[in-house]
Amino acid sequence: MMRRIQATALLRDTLREAAARWVFWGFYGLSTALILFFLFLLRIDVIEGARATVTLLGETSPRALPVTRLVRQFEGGVASFLYVAGMGLALFASAGLVAATFEPGRIEWLLSKPVSRVRILLWRYAGAVIVVALNVCYLVLGVWLILGWKTGVWDAHFLVAAPTTIFMFMVLLSVVTLAAVLTGSAALATMLVFALMVLSPILAQHKLMVRLLDSEFWRDVWRAMYYCLPKVFEVGRINMNLLRDRAVESWMPVWSSALFAAVVLAAALAAFSRRNY
Amino acid sequence: MDPDAAIETRELTRVYRQRWRGREIRAVDGVSLKVARGTSFGLLGPNGAGKTTFVKLLLGIVRPTAGSATLFGVDCRRPEARLRVGYLPENHRLPSYWTGAGLLDFAGALSGMDARARRRRIAELLDLVGLQEWANVRLSRYSKGMLQRLGLAQALMHAPSLLLLDEPTDGVDPVGRQQIRAILRELEDQGVTVFLNSHLLSEVELACREVAIMDRGRLVLAGRVKDLTAGKGYLVTAAHVPEALFETLRAKAASAAMRDGLAEFLFPTREEANRAVDVVRAHGGWLESVTPTGSTLEEVFMRTVRPQTPEQL
């Protein structure tokens, strides 16, 4: 009973703090703008149920495209935007939310309560995930409903963009959490995850790099980095394959990224449990 | 460990190591202290004496390097030890996105109170600290004094048996200070143990029955305020005092402490001081000094705490 009350309080605290931060409202504003774009500015005229023309700000496309392809293209664009820009923005906002827990004068107060440190950190992590997940679901469902309503094409594959984006956000948020525990700096945590996002497509070329490198030592370093670090780029590719109803060659990027998140989060919990404030 | 004590520490030590300079700072150095239930206890000391670290050790915010501490007989590193404790930190930064009532609700929930009990208690406490009209205003609009009063209210939210207050009157005006003192007195009458950590001697003298003085991480003096400040007394300082004799004399003295291998006893009368000197000598101890004591806590403090060199400041 007591644990439930404490968990609800910690979660409510995170949601309340997120609501007080403009950056989260900016995130929701951006999603709403995208939904409104599909609702009002983009007109799709379906011709005889199979082909469609697109009218954007009064300009009509010169040729009609198969309607299913058109919808998939729009959905692919939204999914890519969400996976890259949306996730980047969500990480930027969440870094401040997690790091704020460790502010001097606040952390001492929190730790003086009869709550275990593990629960304090886990519920802050969970709170940040819930805030972002709600926004992602809002955007994906909103766009899906509008496109379905306008074209009659209800492509359920698009809905997979939500869990995929939330999954990779959770993986990268674990890095933010560890960095925030160790340094208390939101800026450093953000820089670290952005570096991982940039590094990911480079590391994804590991087969080519292994061929190019002369030294066995550096080949091993490259392989180790590839297998250990989260595979943002490859999970993004899996996301697009699922969206286009194509087969997924390997699920390794997903489970290895999940394993990475579990290890990093466990390290964050261990570091937080031992730290003096 | 004595389960009847509100606070008990044994040789509690916290050492900070500066990695690059290879230096050790003993923030808290072998402090053994027992605070009885239902008393008001003041911890005094100059800035940097280790008072705040000591309180943080009690709350498990800082882990001890050596020694142990219990709160009501429970190891202070366990969350259950904090169930009956209310804490107001020094320089706190209560989350400014909460309203006054919201913060109290959050604090109560973290202490495991159910929603109905929280609602009832919030109204009582806001009234007690004079913030009922500010209940639904965000903390970002509160003044320093108001935040301090709200800080006290959140510490009282779950009706704790032990209240740990770190510089509670910091930033509070004289009227507010008097209110806080009245609240603390009332709590003591209700059997709550009040542990006040402050560098304001007058504050402690007015609010506490017992005090301890820390200096450079060590506990250098402990006793009842009444005894320490009552009329003239005599401070007997001796070296090579056997442990058994130290305990015997401690029972007879108004207060006693060990500092740098020297035993210090405060006796209220000249006769008792002389008798103690005789006993110390008879047991092979060396008399270091016999000093008449003053009558204010400030004088006791100034005599007890060694002046800091410019490098230590």
What's residue A41's pLDDT?
79
Residues A55, A70 contacting (CB under 8 angstroms) = no
Coil vs helix vs strand at B300: helix
Tell me what pLDDT residue A106 has. 95
Provide the pLDDT for residue A52.
75
Report the CATH number of the B232-294 domain: 3.30.70
**Across the A/B interface, how many CB contacts are shorter than 8 Å?**
83
Q: What is the mean pLDDT of residues B124-134?
A: 94
Reduced to 3 states (helix: H, G, I; strand: E, B; else coil), residue A28 is: helix
Task: List the one residue out of B202, B256, B261 whose CA is nearest residue B228.
Answer: B256
Residue A153 in 3-state DSSP? coil
**CA B180, B183, B184, B185: dihedral to nearest 10 degrees?**
120
**Segment holding B162, helix H or strand E:** strand B162-166
User: Does the pLDDT of residue B146 top 70, yes or no?
Assistant: yes
Provide CB contacts within 8 A for A128, sequence distance 6+.
A14, A18, A94, A97, A98, A173
End-to-end CA, chain A: 29
Quick one: average pLDDT of A261-277?
Answer: 96
Mean of the pLDDT values across residues B209-231?
88
Chain A neighbors of B102, CB-CB under 8 A: 16
Looking at the predicted structure, is the pLDDT value of residue B39 above 70?
Answer: yes
Which secondary structure element, helix H or strand E, spans residue B105, and what is its range?
Answer: helix B100-110
Pick from A120, A84, A159: nearest CA to A269:
A120
What's the pLDDT score for residue A206? 84
Higher pLDDT, B295 or A248: A248
Which position has the token pair 């995130």? A27
Which residue among B61, B83, B109 sits closest to A5, beta carbon to beta carbon? B109
* pLDDT surpasses 90 at A44: no
- Ranked by mean pLDDT, the top range of B99-108, B169-178, B289-298, B304-313 is B99-108
pLDDT at B3 over 80: no
A39: burial class by Cβ within 10 Å (0-12, 13-18, 19+)? middle
Residue B287 forms contact with A (CB below 8 Å): no
Output the CA torsion sign for B118, B123, B126, B127.
negative
Report the interhelical angle of B243-252 vs B270-282 (nearest 10°): 170
Confidence of residue B231 (pLDDT cuts 50, 70, 90): low
Give B81→chain A minimum CA distance, Å. 7
pLDDT at position B237 over 90 = yes
Contact A274 B63 (CB under 8 A): yes
pLDDT digits (tens, 9 = 90+) for A231-244: 999 999 999 999 98
Q: Are strands B40-44 and B210-215 parallel, antiparallel or unpaired?
A: parallel
B93: chain A residues, CB-CB within 8 Å: 103-106, 109
Average pLDDT of chain B? 90
CA distances from B117 to A205, A241, B108 (A): 60, 53, 9
pLDDT number for residue A124? 96
Map residue B270 onto helix, strand or coil: helix
DSSP code per residue over B16-58: EEETTTTEEEEEEEEEEEEEETT-EEEEE--TTSSHHHHHHHH
Is residue B294 pLDDT above 70, yes or no? no
Round to the nearest angstrom and report the end-to-end CA distance of chain B. 36
Instruction: Provide the pLDDT for residue B176.
Output: 83
Is it the case that residue B311 has pLDDT exceeding 60?
Answer: no
**pLDDT score at B254:** 84
State how far the Cα of A84 lies from the Cα of A91, in Å rounded to an integer.
11
As a whole-number percent, the residues of chain B with pLDDT over 70 amount to 95
* CA angle (A145, A148, A153) in 5-degree steps: 150
Task: HSE, CB side, 13 Å, CA atoms: give it for residue B49.
Answer: 24
A187 pLDDT band (50/70/90 cuts)? very high
* A71-75, A162-166, B84-88: least confident range: A71-75
Parts of chain B belonging to CATH 3.40.50.300? 5-227
Give the pLDDT score at B240.
94
What does the pLDDT read at residue A264? Answer: 98
Q: What is the pLDDT of residue B228?
A: 81
Mean pLDDT of chain A: 92
Q: pTM for the whole thing?
A: 0.83
DSSP letter at B141 equals: G
A276 has a chain B CB within 8 A of its CB: yes
Which token pair is A175? 């890095």
List A residues 92-111 in contact with B (Cβ-Cβ < 8 A).
103-111
pLDDT of B308 = 62
Rounded mean pLDDT, A130-156 = 93
> Residues A4-35: pLDDT tens digits?
999 999 999 999 999 999 888 888 999 999 99
How close, in Å, is residue B212 to chain A by CA atoms? 22
User: Would the pLDDT of B123 be above 90?
Assistant: yes
The reported pLDDT for the residue numbered B232 is: 67
Domain with CATH 3.30.70 in chain B: 232-294
* Three-class DSSP category at B182: helix
Q: For A211, what's the count of Cα atoms within 13 Å in the CB-facing half-sphere?
A: 3
User: What is the C-alpha separation between A31 and B100, in angstroms, rounded?
Assistant: 33
Mean pLDDT, rounded, for B144-166: 95
Q: Give the sheet arrangement for strand B218-224, strand by strand.
A: B85-88, B162-166, B193-197, B40-44, B210-215, B218-224, B255-259, B262-267, B233-239, B286-293
Give the separation between CA A163 and CA A232, rounded to whole angstroms. Answer: 14
pLDDT at B302 over 90: no
Residues of B in contact with A111 (CB under 8 A): 59-61
Could you tell me the CA-to-CA distances from B160 to B2, B34, B194 in Å, in that order? 19, 19, 10
Taking CA atoms, A97 is separated from A4, A7, A132, A265, in Å, by: 22, 17, 12, 16
The yes/no answer on whether domain B5-227 falls in CATH 3.40.1160.10 is: no
For residue B295, what pLDDT band results from cuts at 50, 70 and 90?
Answer: low
pLDDT at B180: 87
pLDDT bracket for residue B310 (50, 70, 90): low
- Please say whether the beta carbons of B103 and A13 come within 8 A: no
